[in-house]
Amino acid sequence: MSLFQPLADHPGSKGARPLAERMRPRTLDEFIGQEHIMAPGKPLRLQIERDDPGSIIFWGPPGSGKTTLAKIIAHATKAEFIEFSAVLSGIKEIKQVMAEAEKAREYGTRTILFIDEIHRFNRAQQDAFLPHVERGNIRLIGATTENPSFEINGALLSRCRVYILNQLSEEQIVVLLQRALEDRERGLGKMNVRASDQVLQQIAAYTSGDARAAYNVLEIAAATATSENADATGHVISEEIIKDTLQKRVLLYDKSGEEHYNLISALHKSVRNSDADASLYWLGRMLESGEDPLYIARRVVRMASEDIGLAAPEALNLCLSAKDAIDFLGMPEGALALAQAVAYLALAPKSNALYTAYSAVLEDVEKTAAEPVPLHIRNAVTNLMKQVGYGKGYQYAHDLEEKVADMECMPDNLRGREYYHPTQEGREKLLGQRMEEIKQRKEELRQAEAKKAKPLKRRGKEEAAEESN
């Protein structure tokens, strides 16, 4: 027998399959969760019951039932079902399957093509399905954990109905686990293993709504329990066994996927809303999921400028210090420095005045004419520049009593434009008072200059009248 020759199915191979595969629901009645689309009268259930030939994209987290629903559809329809993995297949296999589906259609046979991890196909590979979906050669069912808007071609997406699957609740996971413990045909019923509701809830909590992960934990825990002495009622899965089995909590995360952006958005918005507890929670979720701490540090530095700004200018230094601590200490020691920065940002006075001011500046830079710098605030570094008028009329603020000159520094087309409007939060309240003092001083200087100019103008008119006489 060749080493690479496929092995024949063993009579006991069915029981050797993973528990998650054995317990996969086979009918709509066995399926648990996704009531928003699967309850009687809901759109997906109606589509399945009517054997609607439309193409479908299932979008949801791991273990939420995407593949299960595809197989239920396969059992409910008379069409040929082909399962395809985007991880293992390429353009050659796609073309071969499409050719076979086209031939089958000529003989009146419909083909359902299920593609797991469809987001892993590149644009060219996805385009290969388009004409066959358009002509009805195949009914495409794709499963993805990534946002279809970003990962699937618009043309292909427009030809499919997108159904969003939610993460299963802890209560739903517990029901599935209890069913697996009792099922003697496909589950663990013959092992005479039991677990308390508290233990099952612990598994459900630690697997974060992933039914497949929960089944895997239960299967390992059951095998561990059967190796220990049984009591009169059978083997017991204890909390100690679960702790040993779990080791590390399963957290849904993808550093380049949508969940990455969802979590950093949650952290940023919690900081902005001055919720220190939520901010620390989302920080912990990201770090424990394996996010690069320097990425978080960069975003935290941005928060210090965008949402706190000059209301608490020391926040920026604290965040930069946290970044340096990450560089110096590494993880996990550096995590506490990030936590310190995040908590401070959440509790600091908030102001987006600087952010809105700079945004307004960029808008004027984009939309207004780029007028030259006024001559009086240019440096006259050569004699020619002085002759042309560079620096003429410039007032050196340090030579003045209150260090403020009544001198326009804006270009002529933006004269009098104001961008920065301090709030009454934190240090900005003092900065606002300082700005008012500066405005008042400039106004006093203007009035003083006006008083000096009036007698000169009057004298000039009198001299002109005498000359006319």
* Phi, psi dihedral angles at 141 (to 5 degrees): -125, 110
Cβ–Cβ < 8 Å for 83, 116: yes
Burial 413-445 (b: 16+ CB within 10 A, else e): ebeeeeebebbebbbbeebbeeeeeeeebbeeb
Neighbours of 154 (CB within 10 A): 9
pLDDT tens, position by position, 3-53: 334 444 444 445 468 899 999 998 888 899 999 999 888 888 888 888 776
> What does the pLDDT look like over 325-380, one tens digit per residue?
998 988 888 999 999 999 999 999 999 999 999 999 999 888 888 888 888 888 88
* Cβ atoms of 86 and 119 closer than 8 Å: yes
Which of 25-39, 246-260, 401-415 has the highest average model confidence (pLDDT)?
25-39
| Alpha-carbon gap, residue 17 to 43, rounded angstroms | 33
Residue whose token pair is 């979720």: 285
Tokens (6 digits) for 379: 């440096």
As to burial, measured by CB atoms within 10 angstroms (0-12 exposed, 13-18 middle, 19+ buried), residue 182 is exposed
State whether residue 237 is helix, strand or coil.
Answer: strand
The pLDDT score that the predictor gives to residue 1 is 33
113-139 pLDDT tens trace: 888 888 888 887 888 888 888 877 788
Residue-level pLDDT at 416? 84
Helices of type H across 273-352: 276-288, 293-303, 314-329, 335-347
How large a percentage of the chain has pLDDT more than 70? 87
pLDDT tens string 161-190:
999 999 899 999 999 999 999 999 999 988
* The amino acid at 285: R
Query: Is the pLDDT reported for residue 234 higher than 80?
Result: no
Q: What is the pTM of this model?
A: 0.61
Ordered DSSP codes for 79-95: SEEEEEETTT--HHHHH
3-state secondary structure of 410: coil
Q: Which amino acid is at 420?
A: Y
- Confidence bin at 277 (pLDDT 50/70/90): very high
Q: Tell me how far apart the alpha carbons of residues 36 and 379 are, in angstroms, rounded to a whole number.
A: 69
The whole-number pLDDT of residue 8 equals 43
